[in-house]
C-alpha cells in the first residue's frame, strides 16, 4: 500500500482548486508569516470585520463542504464518484444552553433525513458537547451529586443521544460520537455504552471514540472487551486525540498526573496496540480509524491482510478530514478499502472555531503540511500547471 499516487489523490480537484490548496498550504508552512496571518485573522474577527468573503474564497472550501447540506452536495458527489463516502459533520462548537443543544440535535436529525436520499454516506457524527453541557458532563465524571435540575438535564441529554441513534437506525446509518476532554469523557463513555447496549446487539450502530494519546485507553478497551464480548458488537472510532495541550495545561494547573502519554512514541505505541487488539478481535468489534498518519494506515492494511480480512470488510472503515491527506483517502479507496471523509459544514461564523483549529493544526505539524505541499506540487507538475 503506497500513498504517493497524486493522480489518484487529487482526481476530484480541478486545476484551480489544486492551486488554491497549494497557496494555502504554502502560507501555512511559512512559520512567522503563518502566525502573523492567523493573528491578523483573529484580530479581524474580534473587530467583527466582515471577513466572510475572504474566508469563503480561501480556507473554507479547502476544509468545509458548504454552508448547508445543499451546498455540500457537489462535494459529496465528487467524493463518492471516486469511491469515498462522506460523513457530514455540522461543525458547531461551544453550545451553551438547552436551546443550542436541541438545535444541534435537530441538525443531526436533518442530516439523517436529507442524506437518506443519497447513498454516499454511512455515518453520522456528533460532539457530545453539542448536545449537553460541559459542566454537567464534568460533574457526572467526578461523581458529584446532581441537583434535580441537573438530573432533568441529564435525562434530556440521554434522550438526545437516543433520538439520534433511533433515527440513524431507521435510516440504516451508523453513529459516531466524538471524544473530547478527559474530564468530561467518562460521562460520555457511560452515555455511549448505554446506547450501544440498546442498538449494538447484532451489529455495531453506535461507535464510541478511543483517544490513544491517553495512557489509560488501551486498558479501557481491554476491559470493555472483557465486559461486553458476546453481548454486543463494540463500535470504536480510534484516533490519537486532539486536546493534548489543553489536557497537559489543566493537569499542570491543578497538579494531577496528565492523562496524556509522555511522548509521541508512546502515543503511537498505544495507538498500534489498540489497533492490533481490535483487528485481532474483529468479530466483537467494528472499527472506524481516523488518522492522517501514513504508517498507521499502512499498519492497518497490513494487519487486515495478515488476518485474512477482505479489504472491504464492512466492519473496518478508514477516515481522514476533508481537505487533508487526500493521498491516503483516495489511494485506500482505489485499493478497495472502505473510506469515509469527515465533511464539516455550516455557516461561516459557526464553523470559524473549527477552521481556526485546522489552520493552527496545519501550521504546528509542519511535517504534515510539508507533506501536503509536496504532494500538491508533484500533482501540479504532473498536470503541467504552475
Ligand atoms: C476522521 C477523524 C476523526 C477524529 N475524531 C476525533 C475525536 O473524536 N476526538 C479527538 O480528540 N480527536 C479526533 N480526531 C483528531 C485526532 O485525534 C488527531 O488529533 C489527528 O488526527 C492527528 O493525529 P494523526 O493520527 O492523524 O497523526 P499524527 O501526526 O501521527 O499524530 C499527531 C497526534 O499525536 C499525538 N501527539 C503528538 N505529540 C505528542 C506528544 N509529544 N506526546 C504524546 N502524544 C503526542 C497527539 O494526539 C497528536 O494530535 C479525529 C481525526 C480524524 C481524522
- Nearest Cα to 324, choosing from 37, 24, 101? 24
Q: How far is the CA of 241 from the centre of ligand 1 (A)?
A: 4
Confidence band (pLDDT; 50, 70, 90) for 95?
A: confident
pLDDT tens sequence across 236-265: 999 999 999 999 999 999 999 999 999 999
Nearest to 166 by CA among 98, 232, 109, 107: 109
Ligand 1 environment, Cβ below 6 A: 178-179, 209, 211, 213, 239-244, 260-261, 263-264, 267, 290-293, 296, 319-321, 342, 365, 368
**Which of 129, 291, 343 to probe ligand 1 with, by most ligand atoms within 8 A of CB?**
291
Whether 344 and 322 have beta carbons less than 8 Å apart is answered as yes
Helix, strand, or coil (residue 385): coil
First CA to last CA distance, the chain: 29
Position 209 pLDDT exceeds 90: yes
**C-alpha of residue 291 to centroid of ligand 1, in Å:** 7
Are the beta carbons of 330 and 11 closer than 8 angstroms? yes
Q: Residue 295's pLDDT is what?
A: 96
pTM above 0.85, yes or no: yes
CA angle 20, 22, 23 (to 5 degrees): 70
* Domains defined along the chain, listed by start: 62-358 (3.20.20.220)
Q: How far does the centroid of ligand 1 lie from the alpha carbon of residue 238, in Å?
A: 10
User: Rounded to whole angstroms, how far apart are CA atoms 152 and 129?
Assistant: 17
β-pair type (123-126, 85-90)? unpaired
The pLDDT tens digits for 47-73 are 777 778 888 888 899 999 999 999 999
Mean pLDDT of the chain: 92
* DSSP state letters, 225-267: HHHHTTTSPEEEEEE--S-HHHHHHHHHHHT---SB-SSHHHH
Lowest-confidence segment of 58-67, 264-273, 290-299 by average pLDDT: 58-67
Looking at ligand 1, which atom is closest to the CA of residue 261? Answer: 43
State mean pLDDT over 296-306. 98
Using the atom order of ligand 1, give the atom closest to the CA of residue 365: 29
Q: What is the pLDDT of residues 189-200, one digit of tens each?
A: 999 999 999 999
Per cent of the chain over pLDDT 70 is: 96
pLDDT bracket for residue 33 (50, 70, 90): low
> Which of the four pLDDT bands, split at 50, 70 and 90, describes residue 94?
low
Quick one: pLDDT band at residue 304, thresholds 50, 70, 90? very high
Look at residue 201 and tell me whether its pLDDT is greater than 70. yes
Q: Return the pLDDT at 364.
A: 62
143-182, pLDDT tens digit by residue? 899 999 999 999 999 999 999 999 999 999 999 999 999 9
Supply the residue whose CA is at minimum distance from atom 52 of ligand 1: 290
Exposure b/e, 36-49, CB count within 10 A at least 16 = b? eebeebeeeeeeee
The mean pLDDT value for 113-130 works out to: 88
CA of 281 to the centre of ligand 1 (A): 23
**pLDDT value of position 32:** 66
CA-closest residue to ligand 1 atom 3? 290
Tally of CB atoms within 10 A around 154: 19
d(CA 3, CA 300): 14
Residue 39 has pLDDT above 80, yes or no: no
Judge whether 163 and 109 are in contact, CB under 8 Å: yes
- The whole-number pLDDT of residue 204 equals 98
The alpha carbon of 149 and the centre of ligand 1 are apart by a number of angstroms equal to 36
pLDDT for position 290: 98
Calpha distance 120→206 (Å, rounded):
19
Give distance in angstroms: CA of 242 to centre of ligand 1: 5
Residue 164 to residue 161: CA distance in whole angstroms = 5
Residues facing 8 on adjacent strands: none
CA dist list (Å): 363 to 25, 238, 357, 359: 9, 24, 10, 6
**Other beta carbons less than 10 A from residue 367's beta carbon:** 7
Regarding predicted confidence, which is higher, 72 or 361?
Answer: 72
Strands ordered across the beta sheet of 285-290? 123-126, 174-177, 206-211, 234-239, 285-290, 316-319
The count of other CB atoms within 10 Å of the CB of residue 68 is 15
- Euclidean distance between CA atoms 59 and 78, whole angstroms: 19
* Of the listed ranges 2-11, 34-43, 111-120, 287-296, the one predicted with least confidence: 34-43
Residue from 214, 170, 219, 220 nearest 192 by CA = 220
190 CA to centre of ligand 1 in angstroms: 22
Q: Find the mean pLDDT for residues 205-224.
A: 98
Higher pLDDT pick, 96 / 125? 125
- Name which residue leads in pLDDT, 355 or 383: 383
Q: Is 283 exposed, middle or buried (0-12, 13-18, 19+ CB in 10 A)?
A: exposed
Residue whose CA lies nearest to ligand 1 atom number 51: 290
CA dist., res. 6 & res. 75, Å (int): 19
Residue nearest to atom 33 of ligand 1 (CA): 240
Pocket test residue of 128, 239, 327 for ligand 1, highest count of atoms within 8 A of CB: 239
| CA–CA gap between residue 95 and residue 162 (Å, rounded) | 19
Locate all alpha helices (DSSP H) within the chain, ordered by sequence.
Answer: 6-9, 15-28, 31-46, 52-57, 59-63, 69-81, 98-115, 134-141, 148-170, 182-199, 217-228, 244-254, 264-280, 294-306, 326-334, 348-364, 366-383
Give the position, in ligand 1's atom list, of the atom nearest the Cα of 340: 1
Amino acid at each position: 500500500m503506497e500513498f504517493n499516487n497524486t493522480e489518484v489523490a487529487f482526481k476530484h480537484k480541478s486545476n484551480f482548486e489544486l492551486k488554491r490548496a497549494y497557496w494555502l498550504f504554502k502560507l501555512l508552512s511559512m512559520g512567522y508569516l503563518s502566525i502573523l496571518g492567523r493573528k491578523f485573522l483573529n484580530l479581524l474577527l474580534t473587530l467583527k470585520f466582515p471577513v466572510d468573503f475572504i474566508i469563503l474564497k480561501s480556507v473554507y472550501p479547502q476544509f468545509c463542504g458548504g454552508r448547508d447540506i445543499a451546498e455540500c452536495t457537489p462535494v459529496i458527489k465528487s467524493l463518492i464518484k471516486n469511491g469515498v463516502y462522506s460523513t457530514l459533520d455540522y461543525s458547531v462548537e461551544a453550545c451553551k444552553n438547552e436551546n443550542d443543544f436541541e438545535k444541534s440535535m435537530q441538525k443531526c436529525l436533518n442530516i439523517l433525513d436529507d442524506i437518506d436520499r443519497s447513498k454516499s454516506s454511512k455515518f453520522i457524527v456528533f460532539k457530545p458537547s453539542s448536545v449537553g453541557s460541559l459542566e454537567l458532563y464534568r460533574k457526572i465524571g467526578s461523581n458529584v451529586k446532581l441537583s434535580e435540575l441537573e438530573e432533568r438535564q441529564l435525562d434530556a441529554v440521554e434522550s438526545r443521544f437516543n433520538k439520534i441513534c433511533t433515527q440513524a437506525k431507521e435510516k440504516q446509518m451508523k453513529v459516531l460520537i466524538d471524544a473530547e476532554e478527559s474530564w468530561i469523557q467518562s460521562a460520555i463513555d457511560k452515555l455511549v455504552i448505554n446506547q450501544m447496549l440498546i442498538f449494538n446487539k447484532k451489529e455495531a450502530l453506535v461507535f464510541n471514540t478511543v483517544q490513544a494519546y491517553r495512557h489509560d485507553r488501551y486498558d479501557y478497551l481491554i476491559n470493555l472487551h472483557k465486559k461486553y464480548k458476546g453481548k454486543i458488537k463494540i463500535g470504536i472510532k480510534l484516533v490519537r486525540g486532539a486536546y493534548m495541550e489543553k489536557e497537559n495545561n489543566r493537569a499542570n494547573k491543578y497538579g494531577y498526573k496528565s492523562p496524556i502519554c509522555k511522548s509521541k512514541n508512546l502515543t503511537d505505541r498505544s495507538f498500534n496496540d489498540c489497533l492490533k487488539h481490535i483487528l485481532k478481535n474483529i468479530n466483537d468489534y467494528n472499527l472506524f480509524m481516523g488518522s492522517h498518519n501514513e504508517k498507521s494506515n499502512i499498519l492497518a492494511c497490513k494487519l487486515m491482510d495478515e488476518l485474512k480480512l477482505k479489504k472491504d470488510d464492512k466492519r473496518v472503515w478508514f477516515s481522514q478530514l476533508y481537505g487533508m491527506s487526500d493521498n491516503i483517502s483516495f489511494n485506500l479507496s482505489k485499493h478497495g478499502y472502505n473510506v469515509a471523509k469527515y465533511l464539516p459544514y455550516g455557516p461561516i461564523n459557526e464553523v470559524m472555531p473549527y477552521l481556526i483549529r485546522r489552520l493552527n493544526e496545519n501550521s504546528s505539524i509542519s511535517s504534515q503540511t510539508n507533506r501536503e505541499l509536496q504532494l500538491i506540487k508533484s500533482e501540479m507538475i504532473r498536470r503541467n500547471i504552475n
